[in-house]
Amino acid sequence: MVLRTRITDALKQAMRDKDAARLSTLRLINAAIKDKDIAARATGTDEGVPDSEVLAILGKMAKQRLESARAYEEGGRLDLAERERSEIVIIEEYLPRQLNEEETAAAVEAAISEIGAESIRDMGKVIGALKGKYTGQMDFGKVGPMVKDRLS
């Protein structure tokens, strides 16, 4: 819940500063978190989603904006691409530092040895362990093939 508080405080500060671009992005983040809260309530959880879930939401939002920025650039809409990139910068303020290639490889090795994974059938367990520890810190689209290569 600490992350949620940071976002709310930043939203209030953006209102005070009359920073329209930042305010808009923070409102989008807040709306995404509230949507997830509502979905969680349907399953019987009265509390809000945990910080790990908020990190996943933020990671997904950053990735979506990166894809949109690329599409806008290909379409010749550089103004819209720049707006998407500025939103990415704001979203990434709340994400933990991304692990580099060596750190990611070390984390994959540690998870494999910790679980005792020996074959490709254990890939789900390894990915689950990594998601539990490193949500928001690594791109799981790249981690999947790494784990698969290591276990093959």
114 with 147, same domain: the answer is yes
Distance CA 142, CA 68 (A): 20
Counted domains in the chain: 2
pLDDT digits (tens, 9 = 90+) for 120-149: 888 888 888 888 888 778 878 888 888 888
42 with 87, same domain: the answer is yes
146 with 126, same domain: the answer is yes
17 with 87, same domain: the answer is yes
pLDDT band at 76 (very low <50, low <70, confident <90, very high): very high
Distance CA 104, CA 8 (A): 31
44 with 86, same domain: the answer is yes
- Which of 74, 92, 110 terminates a domain? The answer is 92
67 with 107, same domain: the answer is no
Host domain of residue 87: 2-92
How high is the mean pLDDT of the chain? 88
Tokens of 54: 């908020």
88 with 105, same domain: the answer is no
Q: Are 33 and 4 in contact (CB under 8 A)?
A: yes
Query: 57 pLDDT exceeds 80?
Result: yes
8 with 76, same domain: the answer is yes
86 with 20, same domain: the answer is yes
Torsion, Cα of 23, 36, 88, 7 (10° steps): 50
Distance CA 96, CA 94 (A): 7
113 with 135, same domain: the answer is yes
Q: Are 103 and 130 in contact (CB under 8 A)?
A: no
